[in-house]
C-alpha cells in the first residue's frame, strides 16, 4: 500500500513518506536549512510580487482556449498530480475534543509566530489585497534523516522535502498510501472487499467527514468526502472523479464475486485492476495529447509499447522539480466558469466559488457525477500561457 518493495534491491524507491529526488542541489542561505536570500544577503521578493510581475493581468476569454483539449483533460491532470505528489507542510499538535490533531501553525500572529512560518505581509495595495493583509505561508516539512530512516543518513546533509504519497500510478488516491488509510476506507471495519459508501441521498458517494467542506450556513449535508487523498474535495469535478473510481471499484467487486475469492483477495485484485485502468487511460489518452504523439512515441510512452522490461536501476521516486514546478503547468489551463449539464450558459459559479463547494451533491434529482464530468468533456480548456483564471 505504501509503494515499498517494488524494487527488492531498493525497497524505499517510490515509497510514501520519503524525500524527492533532485536534479540540482538546493540553494539554502546557510547551505543546510535557511531560506534562500539575495547575493547581498537581503530578502528575495515575495512569491506574490513575482506572480504580479510575470503573470498577465489580461482576462481569459473564448480566444484563449485550447481547441485540442477539453476540461476533462485538465481535471485528469489534477487527479494525476494528486495521485503522485503531496508535499506535507509543517504542522503543530493541538487538542480538539479529546484527541490530538495536526494543524498548520498560526503564521499571521506576530506574537506567536512559528519559526517555520514564511508569511507574506502586504506592504502595499496590490489591487486585490489591502495593505497589511497577511498570507499565512508555512514551510514544507523536512524529512527526518536518521540511522534508522529508509533513505540513508548519508544523503541528509541538507533539508529535503518529502512526498506523502507513493510515486506510482497505483490508484492510491482511491485507496490511500498506507495500510491504515486503506483500512479506514473499506467496508466492515476495514475487512470488506468493497469500499464504504454513503447511500443516504439516493446516490452512492464516499462517506462524509466530520466537518463541512466550506464555512457558512449549510442547507444540506456539505461535509467533505472521505477519500484516499486529502484534497479530494478541492473542487466538485475532482470529487466526481474520486466518486467515479470508488463506484468502479465496487462494480468490479460485484462482477468478480462469482470467483469465490476471500474478501481480502477480492479487494486487492480489484485494486490492481483499477490502478491498471488508470495507467492505461493516462498513457494511451492523456500523455499523447499533452506531450504530442510523436514525442510520446520517441519516449516509448505510447500504448501498447513494442516490448516491456524491468530496469532495477531506474529509480521511480518523484523529482522535486516535477512536484513543485513542471506538473503545475495545468494551472493556466483552468477556465473562469465550469458548465454543468442542464445549466443555462453563464449560470454556473465562478471557479473561485467552486473551491470546496459541495452544492452539486446536495440531494440532486439526477446523478451529479454524470452531469459534472460529461459537461467537462464538451468544454474547451484554456491554453497554457501566462493568463490565469481569477
Catalytic residues: 82
Q: Which of these, 130, 136, 132, 96, lies nearest to 113 by C-alpha position?
A: 136
Give CA–CA dist 236/371, Å, rounded: 11
Give CA–CA dist 284/358, Å, rounded: 32
Give CA–CA dist 252/218, Å, rounded: 35
Give CA–CA dist 18/167, Å, rounded: 10
- Asked if residues 243 and 225 have their Cβ atoms less than 8 Å apart, the reply is yes
Helix axes 71-84, 236-256, angle to 10 degrees: 70
| Sequence-distant (≥ 6) Cβ neighbours of residue 375 within 8 angstroms | 338, 339, 340, 341, 343
Give CA–CA dist 185/192, Å, rounded: 10
CA angle 280, 282, 284 (to 5 degrees): 60
331 is in an annotated binding site: yes
Q: Do β-strands 99-103 and 92-96 pair in parallel, antiparallel, or remain unpaired?
A: antiparallel
249-253 long-range contacts, CB within 8 A, separation 24+: 249/174, 249/194, 249/195, 249/274, 250/194, 250/195, 250/197, 250/204, 253/193, 253/194
Q: What SS3 state is found at 19?
A: strand
Q: What SS3 state is found at 133?
A: coil
- Asked if residues 172 and 249 have their Cβ atoms less than 8 Å apart, the reply is no
Residue whose C-alpha cell reads 489518452 in the numeric block: 285
Give CA–CA dist 151/145, Å, rounded: 7
Give CA–CA dist 277/304, Å, rounded: 13
Binding site residue list for heme b: 331
Amino acid at each position: 500500500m505504501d509503494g515499498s518493495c517494488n524494487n527488492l534491491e531498493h525497497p524505499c524507491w517510490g515509497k510514501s513518506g520519503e524525500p524527492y529526488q533532485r536534479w540540482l542541489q538546493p540553494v539554502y542561505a546557510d547551505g543546510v536549512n535557511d531560506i534562500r536570500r539575495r547575493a547581498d544577503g537581503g530578502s528575495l521578493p515575495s512569491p506574490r510580487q513575482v506572480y504580479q510581475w510575470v503573470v498577465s493581468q489580461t482576462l481569459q476569454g473564448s480566444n484563449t482556449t485550447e481547441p485540442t483539449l477539453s476540461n476533462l483533460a485538465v481535471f485528469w491532470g489534477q487527479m494525476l498530480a494528486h495521485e503522485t505528489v503531496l508535499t506535507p507542510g509543517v504542522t503543530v499538535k493541538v487538542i480538539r475534543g479529546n484527541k490530538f490533531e495536526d494543524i498548520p501553525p498560526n503564521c499571521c500572529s506576530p506574537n506567536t509566530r512559528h519559526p517555520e512560518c514564511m508569511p507574506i505581509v502586504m506592504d502595499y495595495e496590490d489591487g486585490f489585497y489591502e495593505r497589511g493583509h497577511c498570507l499565512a505561508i508555512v514551510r514544507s516539512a523536512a524529512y527526518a534523516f536518521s540511522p534508522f530512516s529508509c533513505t540513508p543518513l548519508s544523503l541528509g546533509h541538507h533539508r529535503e522535502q518529502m512526498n506523502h504519497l507513493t510515486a506510482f500510478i497505483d490508484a492510491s488516491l482511491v485507496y490511500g498510501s498506507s495500510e491504515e488509510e486503506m483500512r479506514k476506507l473499506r467496508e466492515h471495519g476495514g475487512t470488506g472487499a468493497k469500499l464504504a459508501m454513503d447511500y443516504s441521498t439516493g446516490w452512492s458517494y464516499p462517506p462524509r467527514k466530520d466537518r463541512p467542506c466550506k464555512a457558512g450556513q449549510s442547507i444540506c449535508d456539505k461535509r467533505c468526502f472521505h477519500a484516499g487523498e486529502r484534497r479530494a474535495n478541492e473542487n466538485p469535478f475532482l470529487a466526481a472523479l474520486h466518486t467515479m473510481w470508488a463506484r468502479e471499484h465496487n462494480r468490479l467487486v460485484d462482477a468478480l464475486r462469482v470467483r469465490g475469492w476471500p474478501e481480502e483477495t477480492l479487494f486487492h485484485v480489484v485494486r490492481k485492476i483499477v490502478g491498471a485502468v488508470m495507467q492505461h487511460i493516462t498513457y494511451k489518452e492523456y500523455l499523447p495529447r499533452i506531450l504530442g504523439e510523436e514525442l510520446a512515441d520517441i519516449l516509448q510512452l505510447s500504448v501498447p509499447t513494442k516490448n516491456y522490461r524491468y530496469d532495477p536501476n531506474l529509480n521511480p521516486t518523484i523529482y522535486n522539480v516535477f512536484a513543485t514546478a513542471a506538473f503545475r503547468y495545468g494551472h493556466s489551463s483552468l477556465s473562469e466558469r465550469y458548465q454543468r449539464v442542464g445549466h443555462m450558459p453563464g449560470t454556473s459559479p465562478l471557479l473561485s466559488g467552486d473551491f470546496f463547494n459541495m452544492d452539486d451533491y446536495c440531494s440532486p434529482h439526477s446523478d451529479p457525477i454524470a452531469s459534472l464530468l460529461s459537461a467537462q468533456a464538451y468544454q474547451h480548456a484554456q491554453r497554457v500561457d501566462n493568463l490565469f483564471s481569477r
